[in-house]
């Protein structure tokens, strides 16, 4: 349980927009989080059972600096300041992964910008 792809346009967003002005995203658009600490995107990930999983985050970072984000699952930190290094351009997408723990039922996976630069652009997450 819990496996699947969750796209930008399915996210709940606090301080950000769904944009389309950089190529290479999947689906309808990507999440552009506000350049502010605390801007976030979250998804509901259903799981049939409590389980360990891998979380892949597809992102672009066209700057020269990391855009770190905290990752929480059901309000519990899975990563503090997880790195989203430069990808070489806003239309160049990469994936970064981390382990997460899911509970049975609906899980809330949230990524939150930890600096005033905000997060990277986010195309989708994959739980596997």
Per CB under 6 A, residues contacting ligand GCU are: 19, 22, 32, 35, 63, 90, 118, 121
Question: Minimum CB separation from ligand GCU for residue 117, in Å?
Answer: 7
Please identify, using beta-carbon distances, which residue of 15 and 35 lies nearer to ligand GCU. Answer: 35
Based on the number of CB atoms within 10 Å of its own CB, is 109 exposed (0-12), middle (13-18) or buried (19 or more)? buried
Please identify, using beta-carbon distances, which residue of 40 and 90 lies nearer to ligand GCU. Answer: 90
Question: Minimum CB separation from ligand GCU for residue 111, in Å?
Answer: 14
- Residues with Cβ < 8 Å from 20, sequence gap 6 or more? 28, 29, 30
- Residues with Cβ < 8 Å from 21, sequence gap 6 or more? none
Nearest Cα neighbor of 72 from 32, 113, 36 is 113
**Residue number with the smallest Cβ distance to ligand GCU:** 32
Which backbone phi and psi does 10 adopt, to 5 degrees? Answer: -95, -5
Please identify, using beta-carbon distances, which residue of 73 and 123 lies nearer to ligand GCU. Answer: 123
Question: Minimum CB separation from ligand GCU for residue 7, in Å?
Answer: 17
Q: What's the Cα-to-Cα distance from 105 to each of 102, 111, 124, rounded to whole Å?
A: 9, 20, 21
Question: Minimum CB separation from ligand GCU for residue 76, in Å?
Answer: 27
Please identify, using beta-carbon distances, which residue of 1 and 89 lies nearer to ligand GCU. Answer: 89
């Amino acid at each position: 349980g819990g496996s699947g792809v969750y796209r930008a346009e399915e996210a709940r967003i606090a301080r950000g927009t769904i944009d389309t002005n950089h190529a290479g995203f999947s689906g309808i658009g990507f999440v552009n989080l506000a350049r502010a600490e605390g801007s976030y995107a979250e998804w509901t990930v259903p799981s049939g059972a409590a389980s360990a999983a891998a979380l892949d985050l597809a992102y672009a970072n066209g700057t020269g600096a990391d855009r770190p984000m905290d990752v929480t699952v059901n309000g519990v930190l899975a990563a503090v300041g997880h790195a989203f290094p430069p990808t070489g351009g806003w239309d160049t997408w990469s994936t970064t992964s981390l382990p997460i723990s899911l509970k049975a039922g609906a899980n809330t996976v949230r990524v939150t910008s930890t600096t005033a630069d905000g997060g990277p652009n986010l195309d989708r997450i994959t739980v596997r």
